[in-house]
Structure 1
Amino acid sequence: MPPTSRPGGPAPGRSPIISHPTLRALLAACLFVYVAQNMLNASIAPLARALGLAEWIVGLAISSAALFVTTLSQFWGRRSVAWGRRRVMLTALSLALVAGTLFALAVALRSAGVLGVGAAAAVIVVARGPFFGAAVSAIPPTGQTLIAKITPDERSRVAGMSAFSGSIQLSIVVGSLLSSLLGSWSILAPVWATPVCVALAFVIGWAGIPRDRPRRPGQAGEPAGEARVGAGVRQVEGGAAPLTAEEGPDRGPRAVLPPRLSWGDRRVLPWIGSAFGMFFAAGVVQIIIGFVVQDRLGVPPQRAVPLTAVMLLANAAGAMLSQLLIVPRLGWPPRRLMRVGVSGALVCLAVLSLAPTLWLMAAATFCIGLANGLVAPGYSAGGSLAVRDEEQGAVAGVLNASASLTWIFAPVTATALYGWHPAAPFVLALAVLAVSAVTAWTARALRA
């Protein structure tokens, strides 16, 4: 059964799980690999112009990466339980290292005139899109299953998930600043720094994430009656299901692949519905804020670049502050984090949609980041606590995929609506966020 919080637990304050050496290694590895990703994100658009590539190449690379993250998250999450978290994490980091190196080589060869425009574009899209996306898609679900394994109760689960999400937000700040500093020296410097950061993440993961045994048929600690191997079937909730090729009775002691989890599972769907509006709104804000700054302040594109960076950093700083400092000290259960987060985001997004000055826009985006920082760990911990131990990999994959889903269609939807009318994307985001707020306050799963 999933762990729950104990009455009379410790008073709000810093959770001891933060000092767990495995969690610290996970956070450090996660920080470096996402710093690498954010350096690529910050440099890919200027690189496309410098290399003579069309602007749509950038959109294709990012959207295809999001598609692979959405598609493969549950694949990796289930295998993190079946194969072991260390094995999946190191596999993912190895793939990311190869992808980052291919990207850097393609850029260098194109800069030297060795590679043509078409070939360079193809390699860049494949390396940054499907290849890097497939690798990075393993990290959130694997990290969440590892946190679920080392956290015994609700309070520590929330603190661990909050620290994990906070490390990703910190990587946005560090990656953006590092890319700016390196880019002022050479436009190729952030590109070559990317595989270096991934290599550091691999070393940290290799040294700090302990070996764990893959999940075996009938192993000790497995809930009775929920996974039984024999005569080619497994006993699961609702009946018997055929074993996969990785767990057939004639395959010997190979690891059992946990069952899949449906996006419509009634235990998890309310958490997805409560958070989806937050993720969609955050994606819309990040995509159109550069246009908003130019149009409302009447500044030229060159001056809008640093102002847009200020807005994005304010958003990331709010989320980072919330996840690394505020949530661990509040000690709130997941449902309260969700309710306060989506409700606060609804108010802040309404303010941003009408804000006429730079500082009011920056304050609103900072507060949206704070709200996102409450929702993200509540979402991850709540969904994790709603399912059984053997479903942790599957639920982590579903939660990560649903969060990534917004990046497949939010960019094109938001920009198309903004071109039609500047208020349109805000109206859509507010409507979706309002539905999530209603879900957070009324769903039975969040009232329990």
Structure 2
Amino acid sequence: MFAALAGSMAMMAYVAVIGPAARELGLPEWVPGLSITIGGVFWMALARWWGGVSDRHGRKPVLLIGFAVFALTYFVLAAGVDMALRQQMSILATIALLILTRALIGAVYAAVPPTTAALIADCTPPPQRPARMAKLGSANAVGMVLGPAVAGGLAAWDLGLAFHAAAALPVLALLAVFLGVPRRTDGTSSGGPRPASGVRLFDPRLRLASATALIAMSSVAVAQVLVGFVAIDRLQLDALGGARAAGLALSAVGVAQIVAQQFVIRLKAMPLNRWLWLGASIAGAGFACVPMVTTQGQLLASYAVAAFGMGLVFPAFQAMAANAVQKHEQGAAAGTISTAQGLGMVVAPLAGTLLYRIAPGLPYLLIGALLLGLALFAGLRRATVPPSEPTSPQAQP
């Protein structure tokens, strides 16, 4: 859990400080956006592959490699930013540094989410997986809140220091994995031949979980990208006031997600379909209210309600995926879900901003409708308690 927290903090710290760094370095606005997008593309492209590697070679080696290269690349990035701030690097070299290092970070960090989710699935009986996935989600949510906050505070003193501090986080995660994760936790240590993973990219067993992951991450990405615009346009704030309101809204999101996931941790007996129905209903209603906000309090409340619902949805679809496949397929299944999330992170911000130009409320109404449709579908499905282990590689969820 600590490794997931540290990794999430490091990833989100970059998002918080790259804007001010770009201004200080005189870089055009598209450079930070492109670097973040490139990282997301590599994450999406390689998450499933990393999950399969962890199925074949074990969770711990994959996590160690991922965090080690993550840390090394981040320190190269931090050193390069220091040189650029001292005017020891050209603009073109700085742009290349940001894009290439972020691409490599996205490529290796792609190993972390599916492998940590598979590690939890390996060590947890199916009825307890939603609660454990919720703990993992809480760690990631705390990281998403603390990372930008700590990095932003350090950047006020020294931009270079903020990058170096962020680079130290994957080192701590590396130590946590090295000391805390057993060498084998996934059954790969047995002497017999390992069965090949039967998980396909569009595996019917993962259809609902993948669709939910795509809708959920798309909703989160749209909400994150547009919150500043909504604060300025709907609340009639200036740029500074809009940034402050957006920061408060995103902080409320983190707190609401953590609170929601505590409910999942404590109410272990509730079927996964019911969590999905409840969470998607709440989140859809929260997002649908955003176009009607006229005060900062209403904006915070709408985002908090939506985030509370999303905090119920995320552990539900992660546990659904884990319960739908066999033990030797956990990494590939988690990688497939991570790929769906990555697709949402890459495509949704662009689609959301284009829809916002057409009508400011349209992207929120669309994601609200998608979530409410998902809730309706989940409500119509027969609520079942997952079996302890699927009996066939092609078993339906």
TM score, norm. by length of structure 2: 0.92
| Gaps in structure 2 of 5+ consecutive residues | 386-396
- TM-aligned CA deviation for residue 422 of structure 1: 1.0
- TM-aligned CA deviation for residue 28 of structure 1: 0.7
- TM-aligned CA deviation for residue 273 of structure 1: 2.4
SS at match of 1:115: coil
Match of 1:139 in 2: 112
Question: What is the distance in 2 between the residues matched to 1:209 and 1:330?
Answer: 27
Sort the Cα spacing of 1:146 and 1:214 in 2 relative to 1 into closer, same or farther, 3 A: closer
Letter in 2 for 1:32: A
Does residue 328 (structure 1) correspond to residue 300 (structure 2)? The answer is no
What is the root-mean-square deviation of aligned Cα atoms in Å?
2.0
Contact 1:73 1:141 in 2 (8 A): yes
Contact 2:209 2:320 in 1 (8 A): yes
Contact 1:380 1:396 in 2 (8 A): yes
Does residue 296 (structure 1) correspond to residue 269 (structure 2)? The answer is no
SS at match of 1:268: helix
- TM-aligned CA deviation for residue 257 of structure 1: 7.6
Letter in 2 for 1:208: G
> 1:117-161: CA deviations, max 9, x gaps?
011011111112x2111111111111111111111231x211111
Does residue 373 (structure 1) correspond to residue 311 (structure 2)? The answer is yes
Match of 2:332 in 1: 394
- TM-aligned CA deviation for residue 219 of structure 1: 4.2
Question: What is the distance in 2 between the residues matched to 1:268 and 1:40?
Answer: 32
Task: Find 2:5's aligned residue among 31, 39, 44.
Answer: 31
Alignment of 1:191-340 (within 5 A): 191-212=163-184, 219=191, 256=194, 258-259=196-197, 261-323=199-261, 325-331=262-268, 332-340=270-278
Letter in 2 for 1:116: S
Give runs of ≥4 in structure 1 deviating > 3 Å. 213-220, 442-448
Letter in 2 for 1:271: A
Q: Tell which structure's C-alpha radius of gyration is larger.
A: 1
Match of 1:149 in 2: 122
Sort the Cα spacing of 1:217 and 1:34 in 2 relative to 1 into closer, same or farther, 3 A: closer
Question: What is the distance in 2 between the residues matched to 1:313 and 1:446?
Answer: 35
Match of 2:82 in 1: 108
Does residue 436 (structure 1) correspond to residue 370 (structure 2)? The answer is no
Letter in 2 for 1:86: K
User: Percent identity over the alignment?
Assistant: 28
Match of 1:383 in 2: 321
Task: Find 2:26's aligned residue among 30, 41, 52.
Answer: 52
Task: Find 1:71's aligned residue among 45, 57, 60.
Answer: 45
Question: What is the distance in 1 between the residues matched to 2:174 and 2:99?
Answer: 23
User: How many residue pairs align between the two structures?
Assistant: 385
> 1:307-356: CA deviations, max 9, x gaps?
11001111111112222x22111222221111100011111111122111
Does residue 90 (structure 1) correspond to residue 64 (structure 2)? The answer is yes
Question: What is the distance in 2 between the residues matched to 1:379 and 1:197?
Answer: 28
Question: What is the distance in 1 between the residues matched to 2:184 and 2:213?
Answer: 31
Contact 1:270 1:440 in 2 (8 A): no
Contact 1:82 1:214 in 2 (8 A): no
Alignment of 1:159-170 (within 5 A): 159-170=131-142
SS at match of 2:133: helix
- TM-aligned CA deviation for residue 415 of structure 1: 1.3
- TM-aligned CA deviation for residue 212 of structure 1: 1.1
Question: What is the distance in 2 between the residues matched to 1:404 and 1:313?
Answer: 22
Letter in 2 for 1:177: A
> 1:149-185: CA deviations, max 9, x gaps?
111231x211111111110000011112212221221
Question: What is the distance in 2 between the residues matched to 1:341 and 1:213?
Answer: 31
